[in-house]
Amino acid sequence: MTKQKRTVFYLSDRTGITAETLGHSLLTQFDGIEWETVNVPFLDDMDNAQAVLAQINHAAERDGHRPLVFSTLLKPEILEVIKQANCRIFDFFETFIRSIEEELHQPFARMAGRSHGLQHHLSYFKRIAAINYVMAHDDGVNPKHFTDADIILTGVSRSGKTPTCLYLGLQYGIAAANYPLTPDDMDVQQLPAVLEPVKHKLFGLTLTPAQLHFIRQERRPDSQYASLAQCQREIQWQEALFSRFDIPYLDTTRISIEEISAIILDRCGLKRQLYG
């Protein structure tokens, strides 16, 4: 079955992160459409607005369908130009701000960039500190500073520890370390000694042997490290270890990093340290 081709524009007078994130989240609920995405950040003057209007009209003529436009534009005159195009506009501020103004009995500030700018310096530096911590404590580095971690992810090689830690730091401001479980650890059948003092901060990541085999094959094709038998042994051992030492863990086989991170925060009682 041939997919319908449509164009979606994300327009903003700042970075466009909010428009793209919300719009993309909504469009994932609709199947059978091949989207061409056009991001237009920093749309803040009339000449550029006229150029985007022409671009939208061209897409409508080419596709045979009017494009969708997700907007967080704050300047009314810019938005009015875009409204002249052959498109369907979904303006997030227009949709939500009016009812919030009515409830709070005050007009909104009409200031661009507040979600992702540097107005909240403490939050910004907290994000940087969290990312620096993640990078300095990746793959078992600097274990003497594990006591400073909000959480320590553990699991066998290629189980998703590093990307999850980075996401936790970037999106939530969580100081996340990670420690790899190795075949040497399997031989002693014990929790690595360096993790004993911080056992209460541990959270395990696991996945199916077949998925681990697939991931490792991409890195080291046809090696012992990537063999299905080796993957089966390591997964069986680590899950037994998690159960033996009462370490909470999650099967990440069919879960995105975003979902993994949200589940970890919920199950471990961690609080988001920043927004945006």
Known binding residues for ADP are 155-162
DSSP 148: G
CA dist 216 and 225 (Å) reads 7
Binding residues are: 155-162
Q: What is the DSSP string of 198-242?
A: GGGGEEEEE--HHHHHHHHHHHSTT-TTT-HHHHHHHHHHHHHHH
Helix pair angle (17-27, 92-104), 10° resolution: 110
Q: Where are the alpha helices (DSSP H) in the chain?
A: 17-27, 46-63, 76-83, 92-104, 121-136, 161-172, 183-188, 209-219, 228-244, 257-268
CA dist 159 and 108 (Å) reads 45
Residue 159 vs residues 63, 149, 178: alpha-carbon distances, Å = 42, 20, 11
Q: What are phi and psi of 8, to 5 degrees?
A: -125, 130
Dihedral over Cα of 151, 127, 263, 28: its sign:
negative
Q: In the β-sheet with 151-156, what is the strand arrangement from edge to edge?
A: 176-181, 151-156, 202-206, 249-251
DSSP 137: T
